[in-house]
Amino acid sequence: MTCNLLLVDDHALIRAGVRALILDIPGYAVVGEASDGAQLLAQFNALQPDIVLLDLSMKHTGGLDALQQLKSAHPKSKVLILSMHTDPELIMRALESGAHGYLLKDTSASELEHALLALRNNERYLSPAIAHTVINQALVRNQAPASPVVHSHNLTARQLEILRLIVRGKSTREIAHGLGLSIKTVEAHRSQIMKRLQIFDVAGLVLFAVREQIISLDD
């Protein structure tokens, strides 16, 4: 089944470029375009797209305001931010306002495809280039004195160690090399971590690790 997309950006050339990238990704179609928040709501109501690709810097209604208006009217809507901004506070505000993913505009076509697939599978997606920034910003906001980890999630000490490395952006190969484990062993631990937590995307693991104080600014 085709996944229908709505592009929202006030630059026609940017929309044309993104549309061209999406044409080469099987299973996706751009069904509409908008250049500001007002058009976004009108187009969404008319087209009911599966995913909205939204820029944050737009004339008239800004991207954050447009996102908040959309989520207020359509709480279940899926929004992937496509922006050039790497400011950690802005990224956090977008995620807190209901965005399911955040992707930088200089991304590759393959990463765009990964992000769209994540949202399509009801997961979240963070561009690897900003994952560390988001973690640090979340930790800065949550600087309450650390308390002992409560193992209500039933993760072993090894799994907690691997979880910390995953949310810090380490690849499976890097984790295996650093811990002296085989790649297959790390992949098995990663799968078990996600199953036990019922979290199947890295962005969700990041938020969980911050909330549970599994990672800290000194990690």
pLDDT in tens, 33-53: 998 888 999 999 999 999 999
Token readout for 11 is 């630059």
Better-scored residue on pLDDT, 210 or 85: 85
Hey, do 3-138 and 142-211 end up sharing a CATH topology, with the first three levels equal?
no
Domain boundaries, the chain: 3-138, 142-211
Contact 80, 127 (CB under 8 A): no
State how far the Cα of 3 lies from the Cα of 51, in Å rounded to an integer: 8
* CATH number belonging to the domain at 3-138, selected among 3.40.190.10, 3.40.50.2300, 3.30.70.260, 3.40.50.300: 3.40.50.2300
Q: Which helix (H) or strand (E) holds 5?
A: strand 3-8
DSSP-derived 3-state class of residue 7: strand
State how far the Cα of 157 lies from the Cα of 217, in Å rounded to an integer: 20
State how far the Cα of 14 lies from the Cα of 85, in Å rounded to an integer: 15
**pLDDT the model gives residue 92:** 82
State how far the Cα of 62 lies from the Cα of 137, in Å rounded to an integer: 22
Band (pLDDT 50/70/90 cuts) for residue 215 is: confident
Architecture of domain 142-211: Orthogonal Bundle (1.10)
pLDDT in tens, 175-209: 999 999 999 999 999 999 988 988 877 767 877 88
Angle of helix 202-211 relative to helix 183-197, nearest 10 degrees, comes to 70
Helical H segments across the chain, by residue range: 12-23, 37-47, 63-73, 88-96, 109-120, 128-141, 157-167, 172-179, 183-197, 202-211
**pLDDT the model gives residue 74:** 94
State how far the Cα of 142 lies from the Cα of 153, in Å rounded to an integer: 20
pLDDT in tens, 60-90: 667 888 999 999 999 999 999 999 888 888 8
Cα-based torsion angle of the residue sequence 164, 166, 171, 177 in order, rounded to the nearest 10 degrees: 30
CA neighbor of 95 nearest in space, from 145, 40, 44, 133:
133
State how far the Cα of 110 lies from the Cα of 132, in Å rounded to an integer: 20
Angle of helix 172-179 relative to helix 157-167, nearest 10 degrees, comes to 130
pLDDT in tens, 102-161: 999 888 888 899 889 889 988 888 887 787 777 777 666 655 444 444 445 688 999 999
Token readout for 22 is 């999406």
